[in-house]
Structure 1
């Protein structure tokens, strides 16, 4: 039976206040100036969902927002990109989350107020919502305090309902990494950390050693490695995809999420592992040509234009 959505995204929702062109990072008690400011929809999950919809997948989102201006901005931004927002829950008891991003050269610092995202819980993710999609994706598990203890149950529920699954863990602000991957990853079809996150999870110093820790219980492990490209351990071999390099990076906010969107778009279509890696690397690079996580994904036509003119790639 056909399902209305290709992907159900479960995750955090917040706005990003991005300050660019800063001479140096601020010090306590001192002030610096930024020459550019952008207020936009943020959060890894929302950037992923928005860009995945732009490249052609049918996407629904399940998360929590406050009844405030930031919540209105996020809702309208998702809807403008074709993301179904029927399952987004809003309440007056909590404000919508926000992240202040300070960009300095190719590095950045962030401060996040979680707000409503802390209060998404397992009962919010109903069987009805799962049954409407072919695939479940979750990002930023450490920013979702109300859901984190039930991640194994959530992913098991999704698999039992016949969905394929993916997880981008993102960074743990507490740097404790206290998630039992041995219990969780058997229910995750595609685990998508970056290289630093994988090293932190496994307490290892290099890619090979880190992969060896989780190989016994992981299915597919995609490792994002910045300008070094991306790797995929598919249970049989380690594949590598070189990065599409952008010489004029505007910022790298959401580049990993955009990589995820390209990879999962191809994954759910049944493309080869290498094709998934290649398209993920392309969408991650396209992200860096405009401010914020969604600026380069205003339309599929724009994505194709950037791919052709900046990276000499046609699709």
Structure 2
């Protein structure tokens, strides 16, 4: 039976209020500080990744949980408007939709403070993923492992189901607010994860080493191909034997919120289009960089043709098709 979707994304979705840049330390005591800009935009690592993948032409479904409130309706409407199937997005009748405020600071484009009220995140469970959905996608991506403890506990089972139906899997843990970084459950998840997608700081914490290659090697040794986003240094990939690197794509960033999630979308889209690993890594770096051209995580995400145009000189051969029309579906 053909897969209904190219990609299923499972995880967090919420509105982001992005403010900044601050030109002084954040002040309490009811002192009002003014900043040049602000934006209300779709947030949540999983939601931003889903939008980026849909923008690249993939057939994308989303599963998670929001509240029965204006914020939840905003999330659902925005995902739908960007081409993401939201039939797997559950509405919680009691808990509120998560909310995040992102504060950027002057002179530090890649640095920001993030404050989140978790709302439905801690109540999200594997039961929020419709039973047939992991089997209906060519690839299943999970995000924000540490924000979704009940869902995280069920990830091995969800990943096994996806893989049993021919799908590949990926995980972007994102930050651990508790600072623990090595919960017992993660060891059970990694053997079922085809691709782990941390940023450099997360990779060092998860891999237990300051040297990035050493940390990536340690993580790859636990099962997944480990793909590390390293900002201005580009990206690297460790498959347990070989290190592959991609340079950073030059761009003048306006807002780096969601750049890592757009990187994830580009990487998965590249893999599903049949690109070899080095080319998928390069495409991912381009997608992450191009997403920083406007405020918010989704506004400037590139199309497939736009991203491919930036990397064609490095792709041999370079596919000219849209991955939404790629049909490598298994029964």
Question: Which TM-score bucket, shorter chain as reference?
Answer: over 0.9
Partners of 2:76 and 2:26 in 1: how far apart?
32
Moved over 6 A (4+): 312-315
**Residue 57 of structure 1: how far off its partner (Å):** 0.6
1:147-202 Cα offsets, whole Å, 9 max, x none, are 12222222223222332100011010111113344432110011101111011112
Question: Does residue 300 in structure 1 map to residue 303 in structure 2?
Answer: yes
Partners of 2:132 and 2:288 in 1: how far apart?
32
Question: Does residue 42 in structure 1 map to residue 43 in structure 2?
Answer: yes
Partners of 1:28 and 1:45 in 2: how far apart?
32
Q: Which range moves more in the overlay, 36-45 or 150-159?
A: 150-159
Q: Which range moves more in the overlay, 158-167 or 135-144?
A: 158-167
Corresponding residue number in structure 1 for 2:19: 19
Task: Call closer, same or farther: CA 1:132–1:112 in 2, change over 3 Å.
Answer: same
Question: Does residue 8 in structure 1 map to residue 12 in structure 2?
Answer: no
**Residue 307 of structure 1: how far off its partner (Å):** 7.6
**Residue 109 of structure 1: how far off its partner (Å):** 0.3
Question: Does residue 58 in structure 1 map to residue 62 in structure 2?
Answer: no
Partners of 1:209 and 1:281 in 2: how far apart?
21
Question: Does residue 170 in structure 1 map to residue 174 in structure 2?
Answer: yes
Q: Which range moves more in the overlay, 200-209 or 223-232?
A: 200-209
Cα pair 2:291 2:297 within 8 Å, conserved:
yes
Aligned length: 309
**Residue 49 of structure 1: how far off its partner (Å):** 0.1
Partners of 2:103 and 2:51 in 1: how far apart?
23
Gap runs ≥5 in structure 2: 314-319, 321-331
Cα pair 2:139 2:167 within 8 Å, conserved:
yes
Cα pair 1:25 1:32 within 8 Å, conserved:
no
Cα pair 2:88 2:130 within 8 Å, conserved:
no
CA RMSD of aligned residues (A): 1.9
Cα pair 2:217 2:238 within 8 Å, conserved:
no
Corresponding residue number in structure 2 for 1:242: 247
Partners of 2:129 and 2:75 in 1: how far apart?
20
Partners of 1:23 and 1:219 in 2: how far apart?
41
**Structure 2 length normalisation: TM-score?**
0.88
Aligned counterparts, 1:117-132, within 5 A: 117-132=121-136
Cα pair 1:286 1:307 within 8 Å, conserved:
no
Cα pair 2:135 2:161 within 8 Å, conserved:
no
Q: Secondary structure at the match of 2:87?
A: coil
Q: Secondary structure at the match of 2:273?
A: coil
Partners of 2:25 and 2:140 in 1: how far apart?
38
Partners of 1:268 and 1:313 in 2: how far apart?
17
Cα pair 2:217 2:240 within 8 Å, conserved:
no
**Residue 249 of structure 1: how far off its partner (Å):** 1.2
**Residue 294 of structure 1: how far off its partner (Å):** 0.4
**Structure 1 length normalisation: TM-score?**
0.92
Corresponding residue number in structure 1 for 2:196: 191
Q: Which range moves more in the overlay, 84-93 or 149-158?
A: 149-158
Partners of 2:96 and 2:187 in 1: how far apart?
35
Aligned counterparts, 1:135-150, within 5 A: 135-150=139-154
